[in-house]
Amino acid sequence: MKKGTQKAILVFLGVIGTAIYLYLTYYSFRFSYQFHMTYDETAEDVADKIWPHLLSLAVWLLIALYFIFGVYPKLQEKVRKWIHFLFLAVCILGTTALAIWWVRLGDFAPYADQLTVYEAALGVPQGDYSYFHNGGYMGTVHYQMGMMLLFQFFMGIAKSGSYQVIQMANAFTVPFVVLFGYLFIHELLQDEKAELLYFVLMMGCMPIPLHSTFVYGESICMFAGCGLLWAALMLCRRRKWFYLIPMGLVSALGILAKGSNWILCLAIAMLFLVLFAMQKEKLLLIAIPVIFLLPVILSAGITQHFRTLTEYPLDQGEPTSAVVAMGMQEGVWNAGWFNGYNFQLYGQNNFESKATDKAAKDYIHQRIQEFKANPDMARDFYHRKVLSQWNCPDYEVFVASREVKNDPTGLIEKIQKGNLHSGILAFLNGYQLILYLGMLFASLAAIFWSRQVENVLPLLISIGAFLFSILWEAKTRYQIPMLPYMVITSTIGWYFLLRETSGRVFGKKY
């Protein structure tokens, strides 16, 4: 593959990313969705004021342009090392402390799907196999069996059946998410200024540590995904067989925790294919089945294990087409959100996968024809579906932890509903604009400045997550596992922009 083809790939991804993040940046500047603390996950759009956004950008540029690219390079090397270490320590310890503090602050109880998976993790070892019959929860959504096993693993280590064990396990993934992201930036850009940008952006990404209270697999998914991202880059750069081992392990762990990690696996596989075509390095080609093989084998093994244990055939299950079909309908409060259609359709077809799949695909075809006949309706539908997922500053993190059994101080209520809540949302609203601007600059960097395809891997993952959100059931919370890659992408974008422009400001080209 010639360099011209490599550049064409970078430009292609850059153009797609520019269209996506110009769109999200524009609407992030105009308004945001704020969720009500209710079970039905309703929200309202609230117009943004321009001055808080301008203030957020001014503070960010003061830190990023003036200090990191202006003052920091002029300091003595010893001072720079201490500042770098301080930023690293504060970032890792601060985000971890926030996660642990939030978990321990109150008794955040699981509900809905997370409660069902947690109860299954408790009940199955006691011989309760009712979850696995055809039409039961595990018999319907097989991919949750891996998450259930992870819950059993954590509770077994702690020798406790409390869901707070899982929440604390989630909290302890946070420092590794931060660390793997730092190691990725360190290897990719090899510039301390980029690392400082990453530390500041990651410290502002509050939904990552705050999501630790959600009794689900998303925190583990972020940990495994960031580990896979780092290992993949190290394999590309160092060409050592050793990195195949962590790649296989964390890819399997990520898929067990959350099926959306397939987006990451596909993006890395595409990168390896491009690099193999350019460099003819067999190790890159071998790495592709390593990413996919262990998760597939492990998933099949888990299904067979429970098939033998419960004596249920587990040969049916909700087809993904039913969820895609639901994502093309009006939801509880907005386009594509959950309305129960997938489960209803499965039940109406006697819990038979093939019949449900056919009915769902028939509906998808019908809906496509409706969209073709009325393009304005289609544009309005997907406009609302996209923004209801991507234009919420807290990414639904407070709604996800709304069930509180114990709050002796009243602080949780202030954070979730009171004066502190409005202040946190204002901060996150400005942060989201900075995040999306950085991703826009990363897309432009792919067109104008990037020379290596590894630079666009986080951007490719972010684009994949955006496109997947158009097809799948809509939910803002589904984007939280993508936040580490979005922070990394934004770091890359701001780094390239400031590197190219700082010379004009400070008289030196970095």
Q: pLDDT tens for residues 6-30?
A: 888 899 999 999 999 999 999 999 9
Chain segment 61-82, per-residue pLDDT in tens: 999 999 999 999 999 999 999 9
What pLDDT does 117 receive? 97
H helix or E strand, kind and range, residue 279:
helix 261-279
What pLDDT does 1 receive? 54
Q: Which of 28-37, 108-117, 407-416 has the highest mean pLDDT?
A: 108-117
Helix or strand or coil: residue 11? helix
What pLDDT does 484 receive? 98
Assigned token pair, 436: 């999306």
Helix or strand or coil: residue 343? helix
Q: How far apart are CA 402 and CA 223, in angstroms?
A: 24
Domain count for the chain? 1
Q: What is the DSSP pairing of strand 43-47 with strand 31-35?
A: antiparallel
Q: How far apart are CA 22 and CA 17, in angstroms?
A: 8
Q: How far apart are CA 423 and CA 446, in angstroms?
A: 35
What pLDDT does 133 receive? 92
Range(s) of the domain holding residue 393:
3-506
Chain segment 274-289, per-residue pLDDT in tens: 888 888 889 999 999 9
Q: How far apart are CA 316 and CA 357, in angstroms?
A: 11
CA–CA distance from 307 to each of 26, 135, 214 (Å)? 50, 15, 29
Which of residues 390 and 400 earns the better pLDDT score?
A: 390
Which of residues 493 and 416 earns the better pLDDT score?
A: 493
From the list 266, 141, 139, the residue with the least C-alpha distance to 216 is 141
Q: How far apart are CA 194 and CA 102, in angstroms?
A: 29
Amino acid at 483: L
**How large is the average pLDDT for residues 111-123?**
95
- Alpha-carbon Rg of the chain, whole angstroms? 23
From the list 191, 188, 203, 178, the residue with the least C-alpha distance to 72 is 191
CB 208 within 8 A of CB 484: yes
Which one-letter DSSP state was computed for residue 278? H
